[in-house]
Protein backbone atom coordinates (compact mmCIF):
# COMPACT_ATOMS: atom_id res chain seq x y z
CA UNK A 1 0.00 0.00 0.00
CA UNK A 2 1.12 3.53 -0.76
CA UNK A 3 1.80 5.85 2.16
CA UNK A 4 -0.32 9.00 2.05
CA UNK A 5 1.14 12.39 2.94
CA UNK A 6 -1.11 15.42 3.37
CA UNK A 7 1.32 18.30 2.81
CA UNK A 8 0.62 22.01 3.22
CA UNK A 9 0.79 23.70 -0.23
CA UNK A 10 2.60 26.83 0.97
CA UNK A 11 4.54 25.59 4.00
CA UNK A 12 5.29 21.89 3.42
CA UNK A 13 6.04 20.05 6.64
CA UNK A 14 9.75 19.19 6.79
CA UNK A 15 9.09 15.84 8.45
CA UNK A 16 6.68 14.75 5.69
CA UNK A 17 9.06 15.86 2.94
CA UNK A 18 11.96 14.02 4.61
CA UNK A 19 9.85 10.86 4.88
CA UNK A 20 8.98 10.98 1.17
CA UNK A 21 12.60 11.57 0.21
CA UNK A 22 13.62 8.58 2.33
CA UNK A 23 11.17 6.45 0.32
CA UNK A 24 12.62 7.82 -2.95
CA UNK A 25 16.18 7.08 -1.82
CA UNK A 26 15.13 3.51 -1.05
CA UNK A 27 14.07 3.17 -4.70
CA UNK A 28 10.41 3.91 -4.09
CA UNK A 29 8.01 5.33 -6.67
CA UNK A 30 5.90 8.33 -5.65
CA UNK A 31 3.09 10.46 -7.03
CA UNK A 32 3.64 14.16 -6.37
CA UNK A 33 2.14 17.53 -7.39
CA UNK A 34 3.81 19.98 -9.76
CA UNK A 35 2.97 23.39 -11.23
CA UNK A 36 1.18 21.71 -14.13
CA UNK A 37 -0.32 18.44 -12.85
CA UNK A 38 0.53 15.36 -10.79
CA UNK A 39 3.57 13.32 -11.81
CA UNK A 40 5.17 9.97 -11.07
CA UNK A 41 8.69 10.27 -9.73
CA UNK A 42 11.65 8.16 -8.64
CA UNK A 43 15.40 8.42 -8.20
CA UNK A 44 17.47 8.85 -11.36
CA UNK A 45 19.29 5.53 -10.89
CA UNK A 46 16.19 3.54 -10.00
CA UNK A 47 15.89 1.03 -12.87
CA UNK A 48 12.90 -0.76 -11.35
CA UNK A 49 11.14 2.57 -10.80
CA UNK A 50 11.58 3.41 -14.48
CA UNK A 51 10.03 0.11 -15.49
CA UNK A 52 7.16 0.63 -13.05
CA UNK A 53 6.41 4.01 -14.65
CA UNK A 54 6.50 2.39 -18.10
CA UNK A 55 4.07 -0.30 -16.95
CA UNK A 56 1.67 2.11 -15.22
CA UNK A 57 1.53 4.42 -18.22
CA UNK A 58 2.14 1.74 -20.90
CA UNK A 59 4.96 3.74 -22.44
CA UNK A 60 7.10 2.67 -25.37
CA UNK A 61 10.88 2.95 -25.64
CA UNK A 62 10.68 6.27 -27.50
CA UNK A 63 8.99 8.09 -24.60
CA UNK A 64 10.94 11.04 -23.25
CA UNK A 65 11.28 10.86 -19.49
CA UNK A 66 11.82 14.15 -17.68
CA UNK A 67 14.51 15.07 -15.19
CA UNK A 68 12.88 17.49 -12.77
CA UNK A 69 15.68 19.71 -11.48
CA UNK A 70 16.02 22.04 -8.52
CA UNK A 71 17.73 24.86 -10.41
CA UNK A 72 19.53 25.78 -13.61
CA UNK A 73 22.94 24.70 -12.29
CA UNK A 74 21.62 21.20 -11.66
CA UNK A 75 19.89 21.08 -15.04
CA UNK A 76 23.16 21.98 -16.74
CA UNK A 77 24.81 18.80 -15.45
CA UNK A 78 22.51 16.61 -17.53
CA UNK A 79 22.03 18.40 -20.88
CA UNK A 80 24.15 20.17 -23.48
CA UNK A 81 22.93 23.70 -24.08
CA UNK A 82 24.22 26.49 -26.35
CA UNK A 83 23.98 30.23 -25.71
CA UNK A 84 20.80 30.87 -27.71
CA UNK A 85 18.94 27.99 -26.07
CA UNK A 86 20.39 28.93 -22.69
CA UNK A 87 18.78 32.36 -22.85
CA UNK A 88 15.40 30.98 -23.92
CA UNK A 89 15.34 28.27 -21.27
CA UNK A 90 16.71 30.50 -18.51
CA UNK A 91 13.98 33.08 -19.16
CA UNK A 92 11.31 30.40 -18.77
CA UNK A 93 12.43 28.76 -15.54
CA UNK A 94 11.08 28.00 -13.10
CA UNK A 95 7.82 27.30 -14.93
CA UNK A 96 5.49 24.85 -16.64
CA UNK A 97 7.85 23.83 -19.43
CA UNK A 98 9.69 20.65 -20.41
CA UNK A 99 12.71 21.07 -22.69
CA UNK A 100 14.08 18.29 -24.89
CA UNK A 101 17.86 18.62 -25.15
CA UNK A 102 20.91 16.47 -25.97
CA UNK A 103 21.89 14.53 -22.87
CA UNK A 104 25.30 14.45 -21.19
CA UNK A 105 26.99 11.26 -20.02
CA UNK A 106 25.45 11.83 -16.59
CA UNK A 107 22.12 10.53 -17.91
CA UNK A 108 21.70 6.73 -17.89
CA UNK A 109 21.35 5.27 -21.39
CA UNK A 110 18.00 3.66 -20.59
CA UNK A 111 16.48 7.14 -20.13
CA UNK A 112 17.55 8.46 -23.53
CA UNK A 113 15.48 8.63 -26.67
CA UNK A 114 16.91 5.62 -28.59
CA UNK A 115 17.67 7.59 -31.78
CA UNK A 116 18.18 11.19 -30.68
CA UNK A 117 20.04 10.58 -27.38
CA UNK A 118 17.96 13.33 -25.83
CA UNK A 119 16.16 13.71 -22.52
CA UNK A 120 13.50 16.04 -21.13
CA UNK A 121 14.39 18.51 -18.37
CA UNK A 122 12.39 21.03 -16.37
CA UNK A 123 12.54 23.32 -13.33
CA UNK A 124 9.08 23.51 -11.74
CA UNK A 125 7.53 26.48 -9.97
CA UNK A 126 5.77 24.61 -7.16
CA UNK A 127 6.56 24.95 -3.44
CA UNK A 128 6.13 21.27 -2.57
CA UNK A 129 8.09 20.01 -5.58
CA UNK A 130 10.93 22.40 -4.84
CA UNK A 131 10.98 21.29 -1.19
CA UNK A 132 11.29 17.68 -2.37
CA UNK A 133 14.14 18.54 -4.72
CA UNK A 134 15.96 20.57 -2.06
CA UNK A 135 15.78 17.65 0.38
CA UNK A 136 16.68 15.03 -2.23
CA UNK A 137 19.68 16.91 -3.60
CA UNK A 138 19.35 15.41 -7.09
CA UNK A 139 16.80 15.43 -9.92
CA UNK A 140 13.61 13.40 -9.86
CA UNK A 141 13.02 11.15 -12.83
CA UNK A 142 9.43 11.93 -13.74
CA UNK A 143 6.51 11.37 -16.05
CA UNK A 144 3.05 12.99 -16.10
CA UNK A 145 0.49 10.91 -14.20
CA UNK A 146 -1.71 10.25 -17.20
CA UNK A 147 -3.15 6.75 -17.13
CA UNK A 148 -3.92 4.67 -20.24
CA UNK A 149 -7.41 5.41 -21.53
CA UNK A 150 -7.66 8.69 -19.61
CA UNK A 151 -7.89 11.98 -21.48
CA UNK A 152 -6.63 14.04 -18.53
CA UNK A 153 -4.20 13.42 -15.65
CA UNK A 154 -5.52 12.53 -12.21
CA UNK A 155 -5.89 15.66 -10.07
CA UNK A 156 -6.75 14.53 -6.53
CA UNK A 157 -4.35 12.85 -4.13
CA UNK A 158 -7.02 10.58 -2.64
CA UNK A 159 -8.06 9.53 -6.15
CA UNK A 160 -4.46 8.62 -7.01
CA UNK A 161 -4.11 6.69 -3.76
CA UNK A 162 -7.30 4.77 -4.50
CA UNK A 163 -6.42 4.06 -8.14
CA UNK A 164 -2.73 3.19 -7.75
CA UNK A 165 -2.45 2.02 -4.15
CA UNK A 166 -0.82 -1.29 -5.05
CA UNK A 167 1.76 0.07 -7.51
CA UNK A 168 3.02 3.20 -5.71
CA UNK A 169 5.03 3.61 -2.52
CA UNK A 170 3.80 7.11 -1.61
CA UNK A 171 1.31 9.81 -2.62
CA UNK A 172 1.80 13.47 -1.75
CA UNK A 173 -1.41 15.50 -1.58
CA UNK A 174 -1.13 19.29 -1.38
CA UNK A 175 -4.41 20.08 -3.12
CA UNK A 176 -5.56 20.18 -6.71
CA UNK A 177 -2.74 21.22 -9.07
CA UNK A 178 -4.70 21.19 -12.30
CA UNK A 179 -4.89 18.98 -15.37
CA UNK A 180 -2.88 20.88 -17.96
CA UNK A 181 0.56 19.30 -18.53
CA UNK A 182 3.71 21.22 -19.34
CA UNK A 183 4.46 22.80 -22.67
CA UNK A 184 7.14 20.66 -24.34
CA UNK A 185 9.77 22.35 -26.53
CA UNK A 186 12.35 20.30 -28.45
CA UNK A 187 15.66 22.14 -28.77
CA UNK A 188 17.63 19.19 -30.12
CA UNK A 189 17.35 20.27 -33.79
CA UNK A 190 18.33 23.36 -35.75
CA UNK A 191 15.10 25.15 -34.80
CA UNK A 192 12.93 24.83 -31.68
CA UNK A 193 9.91 22.59 -32.17
CA UNK A 194 6.87 22.80 -29.93
CA UNK A 195 5.86 19.18 -29.36
CA UNK A 196 3.01 19.92 -26.96
CA UNK A 197 1.20 23.13 -26.10
CA UNK A 198 0.36 23.03 -22.42
CA UNK A 199 0.46 25.25 -19.34
CA UNK A 200 3.39 27.40 -20.48
CA UNK A 201 3.28 30.29 -22.98
CA UNK A 202 4.81 29.22 -26.31
CA UNK A 203 5.29 32.64 -27.94
CA UNK A 204 8.89 33.17 -26.88
CA UNK A 205 9.98 29.86 -28.43
CA UNK A 206 8.28 30.56 -31.71
CA UNK A 207 10.54 33.60 -32.05
CA UNK A 208 13.80 31.75 -31.23
CA UNK A 209 16.18 30.95 -34.05
pLDDT tens digits, one per residue of 112-152: 877 889 999 999 999 999 999 999 999 999 999 999 998 88
CA distances from 37 to 26, 69, 142, 143 (A): 25, 16, 12, 10
pLDDT tens digits, one per residue of 177-206: 878 889 999 999 888 999 999 988 888 887
Q: How many CB atoms lie within 10 A of CB 160?
A: 25
Smallest CA-to-CA distance from 36 within 200, 147, 208 is with 200
Tell me what the pLDDT averaged over the chain comes to.
Answer: 92
Prediction pTM value: 0.93
> What is the C-alpha to C-alpha distance for residues 188 and 102, in angstroms, rounded to an integer?
6
Which range is most confident: 30-44, 55-69, 112-126?
Answer: 30-44
Give the per-residue pLDDT at 112: 83
Residue 160 has pLDDT above 60, yes or no: yes
Q: Which domains, and CATH codes, for the chain?
A: 3-206 (3.90.870.10)
Query: Rounded to the nearest 5 degrees, what angle is found at the Cα of 192, between the Cα atoms of 191 and 193?
Result: 115
Amino acid sequence: MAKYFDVHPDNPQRRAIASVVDIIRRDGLVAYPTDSCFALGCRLGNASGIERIRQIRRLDEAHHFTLVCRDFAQLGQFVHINNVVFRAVKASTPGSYTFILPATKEVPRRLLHPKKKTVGVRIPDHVVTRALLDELGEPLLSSTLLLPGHEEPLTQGWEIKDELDNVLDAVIDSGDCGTEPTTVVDFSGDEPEILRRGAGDTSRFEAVG
